[in-house]
Amino acid sequence: MKNFFASLLGTLVGLVVFFLLMFFILIAFISVVSTPQDPKPVSVNSVLKLTFETPLIDRTRNSPWDFTGMSSLENMRVIGLNDVLTSIARAGDDPNIKGIYMELSTVQAGTASLGEVRQALEKFKLKGKFVMAYASYYSQKAYYLASVADKIYMNPEGNLLLTGISYQAMFFKGTFEKLGIEPQLIRHGKYKSAGEMLINEKMSEENKEQVSTYIGSLWSKMAADIAVSRGIQVEEINEWISGLKVSSPTKAVDLKLVDALKYKDEVIQELDSLSGGVPVDQISLKKYVVSAPSSGTSKNVLALVYAEGDIVTGRGDDENIGADKYAETLREIRNDSTVKAVLFRINSGGGSALASEIIWRELKLIAKDKKLIVSMGNVAASGGYYIACPAHKIMASEATLTGSIGVFGVLFNGKEFLNKKLGITTEAVNTHPYSDLGSFSRPLEIKEREVIQMEVDRIYESFVQRVAEGRGLEEGFVNSIAQGRVWAGKNALDIKLIDQIGGLEDALAETATLAGLTEYRVVEYPKLKEPWEVFINSLAEQAQVWWHGKDINSYLELLPIYQNIKNFEGIQARMSVYFEN
């Protein structure tokens, strides 16, 4: 028995040492893999292959892998819009890159981001190089991007879906009534639809008006771009869609929306012929990004700050905009004498009003000493617009969703649900009359509702003042275009919420011009975690999911909603829903 325990102890110690050794070897491997590499040579006959199977976020994540699950180590690294645009521009000047080939059966990106990619591809074509698009099936977004190509091909049994844009809202008033839960919504702004789905059975007339205006502007932009690229009239496109005339692959060819129906092997043969008649080397964007050179060694720094996700109090994480983390980063930039100008890129539907105020203050301080430009992505609304106000200049795409200058708060009264549905009664002992304000077990009293409404109104007034001050407008005018209403970038330009139409690359050039910079290097903020840190965190998260049971994967798609609700703290300056733009 003594020998048995000695052997068992020795085995356990050996296993511990083995796993520790393997752990450190894995860390070393990740460090080597993620270390910036010298530019790799690109084959003479190459085409840059673009796909958009992963969500097109603004900034590439600093991770060698983004795991899809514990059972998969597939490299699903998410490439950001920043690297997509840089790579397309670089490919235009690369003599070894003959053209760009896009496979677009799956496209996960906002319309504004796709518009920026289209613009980059237009500039690429001016270099005398070709762009080709292929898909087994084209969604509307996929076709919008594909339309910029010289040649658009589709599988003979594929399909092209052009239907225009629809926005459908879901309302939960009946659900809450059945449950015996009363949503107590307090808001300022007749267009502020946040929370509307909790108390209504259908859209308000104000909400219908703003949605109709927004999706109308969005479609006008898409249709106009498609029409110009394909040499057809917008009126024709609208007529085809209204009559459901794009009903088959051959019909898509007849209407000149697609150039030809081909199988993938036939497309590859054509790529070979365009590249000199020899087999072409298709280099993926991930590999081309890795081989990209640095941004230079100039002492003059243009700080590019990415703010993407919900605006939350605290430090937040890589998926949102933590007020404390961004305030710290912005102070660092303000105190850095090498930073000559700041470009603040926003892709956010807002969040905490207090967190937005904290970030606004730091940006206002920066604007006193350095040129500050804001670039808006797919969405910069509510709190996302709040933090844009201090900028010397605001730029957005025509399809950017912005505005939503409004405020709301919501508390739930679940007394009937607890008492009648679950048979639960509650009793509170308070030191003061309203110590249990916000309790789920009782409704708000009149005085409590009045106090919360006053706070919502106060924050709304501050919001309007911030906009008026930053944009040089009268508060009365700002109030008339505010009220929680959302606008497309095209319309926002007309009412002076933005200064200029343009994407990220345009904003970079404008920032350098306004700051008088001819030589500079771009430094991105906030500083990203080391790849090995991201890797370990990813493993820990996946292990937690595995520990709680395999069936949890079916609920993972609800996790972002749950995380957003957890981040609700105080009065909110956010959009309640996001348009699928």
Residues classed as catalytic: 192, 382
**186 forms bridges with which residues in the sheet?**
409
What are the strands, taking DSSP E only, across 139-211? 151-160, 182-188
CA neighbor of 491 nearest in space, from 392, 384, 399 = 399
Cβ-count burial of 276 within 10 angstroms (0-12 exposed, 13-18 middle, 19+ buried)?
exposed
Residue 355 amino acid letter: A
**486 forms bridges with which residues in the sheet?**
403
The tokens for 138 are: 């084209």
Is residue 261 within 8 Å of residue 156, measured between CB atoms?
yes
- Give CA–CA dist 531/396, Å, rounded: 31
Q: How far is CA 523 from CA 232, 304, 337, 528, 550, in A?
A: 42, 6, 14, 12, 41
The tokens for 458 are: 């106060």
Phi and psi, residue 163, nearest 5°: -130, 0
CB proximity list for 91: less than 8 A, separation 6 or greater: 48, 97, 100, 124, 129, 288
Within 10 A of 377 (CB to CB), how many other CB atoms are there? Answer: 28
User: Sign of the C-alpha dihedral, residues 560, 344, 496, 234?
Assistant: negative
The tokens for 290 are: 């890795």
Cis status of the peptide bond prior to 526, with omega within 30 of 0: yes
- Give CA–CA dist 524/506, Å, rounded: 16
Is residue 42 within 8 Å of residue 96, measured between CB atoms?
yes
Tell me the three state secondary structure of residue 404: coil
- Give CA–CA dist 387/378, Å, rounded: 16
Residue 103 amino acid letter: E
- Give CA–CA dist 22/33, Å, rounded: 16
What are the strands, taking DSSP E only, across 438-494? 486-488
CB half-sphere exposure, 557, CA atoms < 13 A: 1
Residue 273 amino acid letter: S
Is residue 492 within 8 Å of residue 402, measured between CB atoms?
yes
